[in-house]
């Protein structure tokens, strides 16, 4: 299937996005970052939608596997655990897949440009937070 090829890199990028937005949300909640209420609501909304992506990821991985529910959970307990967003960063320990996903995405001019903008914005936010 074609989806089985492009879905994992998409989920890895979604995990990276979730981590960035989670840090931004924490910074907003502790008043380390001052943004408009609408932007804060957008960040929280995107975090909720990313949770749906992670649940869909688990469902698709189960569907693509040849095992029953018990066997799937028993052999993929770590994967099931990482659906919970707070455990999501542990999935990035498989850094090789993440790097390949980023290389694939940065190959596209549009996405590469977007990622460069995100990188610059994060860098400027970091400089502002450091004082």
Average pLDDT over residues 68-74: 87
C-beta separation of 68 from 29 below 8 A = no
What integer pLDDT is reported at residue 114 of this predicted model? 64
Q: Which domain holds residue 125?
A: 3-130
Tracing tokens 């804060």 back to the chain, one arrives at 40
| Least-confidence region, from 22-36, 37-51, 94-108, 111-125 | 94-108
Q: What angle do CA 101, 119, 80 make, to 5 degrees?
A: 40
Phi-psi region of 88 (alpha: psi -120 to 50; beta: other; left: phi over 0): alpha
H-run or E-run covering 104: helix 95-106
* Contacts by residues 66-72 (CB-CB < 8 Å, ≥ 24 positions apart): none
In terms of pLDDT, which residue wins out, 1 or 67? 67
Whether the per-residue pLDDT at 94 is higher than 60: the answer is: no
Band of residue 45 on the pLDDT scale cut at 50, 70, 90 = very high
C-beta separation of 41 from 130 below 8 A = no
Average pLDDT over residues 77-99: 62
Q: In the chain, how many domains are there?
A: 1
The model carries a pTM of 0.58
What integer pLDDT is reported at residue 80 of this predicted model? 74
What integer pLDDT is reported at residue 110 of this predicted model? 60
């Amino acid at each position: 299937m074609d989806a089985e090829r492009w879905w994992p890199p998409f989920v890895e990028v979604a995990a990276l996005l979730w981590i960035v937005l989670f840090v931004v949300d924490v910074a907003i909640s502790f008043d380390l970052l001052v943004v408009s209420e609408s932007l804060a609501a957008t960040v929280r909304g995107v975090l909720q939608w990313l949770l749906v992506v992670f649940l869909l990821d688990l469902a698709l991985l189960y569907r693509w596997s040849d095992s029953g529910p018990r066997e799937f959970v028993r052999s993929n307990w770590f994967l099931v655990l990482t659906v919970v967003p707070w455990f999501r960063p542990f999935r990035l320990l498989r850094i090789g897949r993440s790097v390949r996903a980023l290389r694939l995405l940065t190959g596209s001019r549009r996405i590469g440009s977007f990622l460069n903008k995100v990188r610059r914005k994060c860098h400027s936010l970091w400089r502002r937070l450091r004082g």
